[in-house]
Amino acid sequence: MTLLQPDDAMSKTIFILNGPNLNLLGTREPDIYGAETLADIETASHARALELGIVIEFRQTNLEGDLVNWIQEARSKADALILNAGAYTHTSIAILDALRAFDKPVIEVHLSNIFRREDYRKHSYVSEAATGIISGFGSHGYMLGIDAAAKLIARN
């Protein structure tokens, strides 16, 4: 019999990591970041993952070192990484170095279009190690990121 759904033990895992202040989503600056909370985005991410037959590990931290540790953890536990590093995007060589040691797909996601904002947001260290970048589509960017990652890690 042909199996149409992947067996649980065979499921691919995507880590979705979120950086500083993203826990405040939905409370301020809705004109820039939208009205949805990070919990809303997590719920939508799990729903999309269920449709695709993949597993999501969704986390947020305000600490740069946590992101470095989680990217290192992803080397053995994840098949792809979706990263919104928040403001560390524009400052963190430590996160870039960790990403360079992760030799699977990395999708960089931003709610806002960082290229039409302040000059200091226009450079991303994360982009130097990312497979691709999704920026400016609000919370839908996470869904686009999941779809892109799932496609990249799909078995043929």
Cβ neighbors of 54 (< 8 A, separation 6 or more) are 11, 12, 13, 14, 146, 150
Is residue 87 part of the contact set for ligand CA2 (CB under 6 A)? yes
Binding segment (CB under 6 A) for ligand CA2, from list 22-30, 39-47, 94-102, 126-134: 22-30
Is residue 28 part of the contact set for ligand CA2 (CB under 6 A)? yes
If binding means CB under 6 A, how many residues of this protein chain bind ligand CA2? 17
Kindly state the smallest distance separating residue 3's Cβ from ligand CA2, in Å: 38
Report the alpha-carbon distance of residue 141 to residue 149 in Å, rounded: 12
Q: What is the SS3 string spanning 21-70?
A: CHHHCCCCCHHHHCCCCHHHHHHHHHHHHHHHCCEEEEEECCCHHHHHHH
Kindly state the smallest distance separating residue 155's Cβ from ligand CA2, in Å: 31
- The residue type of 86 is G
**Chain position carrying tokens 């719920």:** 43
Positions in 88-147 near ligand CA2 (CB under 6 A): 89, 110-112, 114, 121
- Chain residues that interact with ligand CA2, rule: CB under 6 A: 21-22, 24-25, 27-29, 33, 84, 86-87, 89, 110-112, 114, 121
- Residue positions annotated with a catalytic role: 33, 110
